[in-house]
Amino acid sequence: MIILGITGTIGAGKDVVSRYLKETYGFVMFRMGDLARDIARKRDVEATRKNLQDIYAEYRKKYGKTCFIDLMVEKIKQSGEERIIIDGVRGEWDVEVPKKVFGKQFSLILVDAKPEVRFSRLKKRRRPGFPKTLEEFSQHEAREQHIFGIDKTFARADFTLNNTTTLLELYHKVDALMHSFGVK
């Protein structure tokens, strides 16, 4: 079994890496954000980044900081899958729990890019609730840092994929990483 936690900065290409692993190598994706989105849907609340951040903060305060990753680990155990992506790893506890449970079967991949590149990508997405200015973008990142302590998570990455060039080059980096794992 191989379990890859995917983390990274906003707009760095985490979804691109996850989709590529799914389509090319047959990984099954488990999204951390889906847990909070399900809660938002049940509450009839729009699933904006801010609302999801608020749900994360509320639940972690009420049930403990590992509540979401604990649920995710149980889903993974019950899945019977051999190649798994945990998409959206944010807090360092989202790394500690799977490392404790799965040991060397779990690795954390950091996807990163320069802030200007990421902001440009976000502008092209035109998703509701996303930052419209570089200043708003910086505020969003500061909020994520405050809620999740994301720099501590990034420091725990086993591998880093820098995504500031082309999509093809990113795919080559992912291929090289999979080759190092012996995944074909």
pLDDT tens digits, 47-96: 887 898 899 889 989 999 899 999 999 999 999 999 999 998 988 899 99
CA distance 134 to 120: 9
pLDDT class for 177, splitting at 50, 70, 90?
very high
Other beta carbons within 10 Å of 41: 12
Q: What is the pTM of this model?
A: 0.85
The CA–CA distances, whole Å, from 62 to 55, 58, 59, 68 equal 10, 6, 5, 12
Which two structure tokens, joined as six digits, stand for 168? 């093809």
Please enumerate in sequence order all residues whose Cβ is within 8 A of that of 39, keeping only pairs 6 or more positions apart, or say none: 55, 59
Which letter, b or e, does each residue of 107-130 get, where b requires 16 or more Cβ atoms within 10 Å of its Cβ?
Answer: bbbbbbbebebbbebbeeeeeeeb
> What is the maximum span of the chain, computed from C-alpha positions, in angstroms?
44
Rg (CA), the chain: 16
**What are the structural domains of the chain?**
2-181 (3.40.50.300)
